[in-house]
């Protein structure tokens, strides 16, 4: 259990009240104290030692939080150049765990944890799990992969920190997942949002109404998803869906998570400083405007990072939340700077296509975006799965749906796309992060 007294009685469900409701001025003071200590610690890491020397900065340079902007950025390429553990800030003998990124955007990178890091990680996950309904009396089914991927283990230990029971079902074997749900009746489901819908599809194939499955709460992360997709999951599985955010480079899941008001994800500011910057100029964007998240670790021991460029696009909000938490909030991630498509000069994120699709009755969140350049101009084809009751062999009806979807894509994303309606279950399902884009332009280069 937390060394604080969890607020089980309140609908606002606060796990660590002293940390999550700290006055803003005390949050700032704590961040400054921890930032100074962290800069002193990472100055022993060769990469940062060289960067600090070149910029003529060091721990003595940090007099206010504004001085954070004087510190260097860290990128994924920096991590790759110093593999496997070039960012280690403690002796190797102090390590308790090594994980790795999923490698979906390139070569995987390794990150390490001390025993204290693992305790911190479980605390961070406990906070958003409790905010999202988890209680000590509950059972949670984890359908994330276990292994180098941080999601499965991070959530697993967060659940145990709360005192709830864990079913480590891991990813895949969806029919077995459903059997486990029916036999052990977990109240909480943990997986990617796209896999939650795969579970619903499989339940229907078994002749079940997926809403009769026992889960009351779901915690979904690991990939961008939209509000429309949240509604789909809640309607199909009959649960409350909560969003959370994290990435292995700066800890794993636990950087931020939603409270019951679903009005942004609360950032754990006693452990992280999060900036929102214009990805081109690297200057701060106005509050509430989209930008790239840049994260600094304040408490991680083994592999802390300073000003890590996540490539994730989101918004930050500082106004107080009605739930009582005082921490800054972030919007859901709307895309990544490295998965943004430029189509005839227009910037497009896959999440915009998803938003457009789900505006049309009868579509599902299962789709594939294919981009090609057969001549001199880009062409976009979007394959969209239809619900079984909507899919028809009537050409006029299908053509009308195609045109409707194409108009919505143009409204939301600002591009014209060719839409192909495909049969239910014809687009590949993924137990981890869904792959939504096939960019043939890159294959042809």
State residue 104's pLDDT score.
Answer: 47
Cα separation, 121 vs 115, in Å, equals 10
Residue 252, burial from CB neighbour count under 10 angstroms (0-12, 13-18, 19+):
buried
**Contact indicator for 385, 424 with CB cutoff of 8 Å:** yes
Residue with token string 């406990």: 126
What string of pLDDT tens digits covers the 445 residues of the chain? 344 445 444 555 899 999 999 999 999 999 999 999 999 999 999 999 999 998 899 888 899 999 999 999 999 889 989 988 999 999 999 999 999 875 544 456 899 999 999 999 999 999 999 999 999 999 999 998 888 888 899 999 999 999 999 999 998 899 999 999 999 999 999 998 889 998 999 999 999 999 999 999 999 998 778 898 899 999 999 999 999 999 999 999 999 999 999 999 999 999 999 999 999 999 999 999 999 999 999 999 999 999 999 999 999 999 989 999 999 999 999 878 777 777 876 778 788 888 888 888 888 888 899 988 786 678 899 999 888 777 666 777 788 889 899 999 999 888 889 999 988 888 887 766 777 888 887 544 4
| Residue 154 structure tokens | 């991070």
Residue with token string 């984890």: 142
Q: What share of the chain is helix, strand, coil (3-state, %, to 5)?
A: 35, 25, 40
State residue 130's pLDDT score.
Answer: 97
DSSP 374: S
Nearest to 308 by CA among 394, 246, 261: 246
Establish how many alpha carbons lie within 13 A of residue 436's alpha carbon, considering only the half-sphere containing its beta carbon.
Answer: 23
What's the CATH architecture for 341-444? 2-Layer Sandwich (3.30)
**Contact indicator for 236, 197 with CB cutoff of 8 Å:** yes
DSSP 28: H
Helix (H, G, I), strand (E, B) or coil at 107: coil
**Contact indicator for 271, 124 with CB cutoff of 8 Å:** yes
CA distances to 10, 119, 197, 237, 304 from 216, in Å:
17, 27, 15, 9, 36
**Contact indicator for 228, 359 with CB cutoff of 8 Å:** yes
Nearest to 339 by CA among 279, 409, 282, 402: 279
What's the CATH architecture for 17-24+95-336? 3-Layer(aba) Sandwich (3.40)
Cα separation, 259 vs 243, in Å, equals 9
**Residue ranges of the domains in the chain?**
17-24+95-336, 341-444
């Amino acid at each position: 259990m937390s060394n604080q007294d969890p607020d089980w009685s309140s609908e606002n469900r606060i796990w660590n009240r002293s940390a999550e409701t700290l006055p803003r001025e005390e949050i700032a003071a704590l961040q400054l104290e921890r930032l100074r200590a962290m800069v002193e610690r990472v100055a022993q890491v060769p990469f940062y030692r060289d960067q600090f020397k070149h910029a003529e900065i060091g721990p003595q340079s940090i007099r206010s939080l504004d001085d954070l902007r004087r510190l260097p950025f860290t990128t994924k390429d920096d991590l790759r150049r110093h593999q496997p553990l070039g960012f280690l800030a403690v002796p190797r003998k102090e390590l308790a765990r090594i994980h790795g990124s999923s490698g979906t955007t390139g070569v995987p990178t390794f990150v390490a944890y001390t025993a204290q890091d693992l305790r911190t990680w479980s605390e961070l996950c406990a906070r958003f799990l409790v905010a999202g309904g988890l209680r000590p009396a509950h059972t949670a089914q984890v359908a994330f992969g276990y292994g180098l991927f941080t999601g499965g283990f991070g959530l697993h230990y967060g659940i145990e920190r709360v005192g709830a029971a864990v079913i480590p079902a891991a990813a895949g074997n969806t029919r077995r997942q459903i059997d486990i749900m029916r036999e052990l009746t977990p109240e909480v489901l943990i997986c990617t949002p796209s896999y939650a819908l795969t579970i619903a599809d499989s339940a229907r194939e078994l002749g079940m109404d997926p809403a009769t499955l026992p889960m009351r709460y779901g915690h979904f992360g690991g990939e961008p998803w939209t509000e429309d997709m949240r509604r789909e999951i809640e309607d199909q599985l009959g649960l409350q869906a909560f969003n959370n955010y994290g990435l292995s480079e700066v800890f794993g899941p636990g950087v931020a998570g939603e409270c019951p008001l679903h009005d942004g994800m609360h950032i754990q500011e006693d452990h992280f400083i999060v900036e929102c910057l214009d990805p081109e100029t690297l200057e701060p964007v106005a509050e509430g405007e989209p930008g790239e998240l840049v994260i600094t670790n304040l408490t991680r021991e083994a592999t802390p990072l300073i000003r890590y460029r996540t490539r994730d696009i989101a918004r930050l909000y500082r106004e107080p939340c009605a739930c009582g938490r005082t921490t800054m909030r972030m919007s859901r991630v709307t895309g990544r700077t490295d998965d943004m498509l430029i189509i005839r000069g227009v910037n497009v994120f896959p999440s915009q296509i998803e938003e457009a699709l789900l505006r049309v009755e009868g579509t599902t969140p299962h789709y594939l975006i294919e981009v090609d350049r057969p001549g001199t101009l880009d062409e976009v084809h979007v394959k969209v799965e239809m619900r079984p009751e909507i899919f028809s062999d009537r050409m006029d009806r299908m053509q009308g749906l195609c045109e409707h979807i194409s108009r919505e894509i143009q409204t939301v994303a600002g591009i014209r796309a060719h839409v192909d309606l495909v049969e239910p279950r014809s687009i590949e399902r993924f137990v981890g992060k869904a792959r939504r884009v096939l960019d043939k332009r890159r294959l042809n280069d």
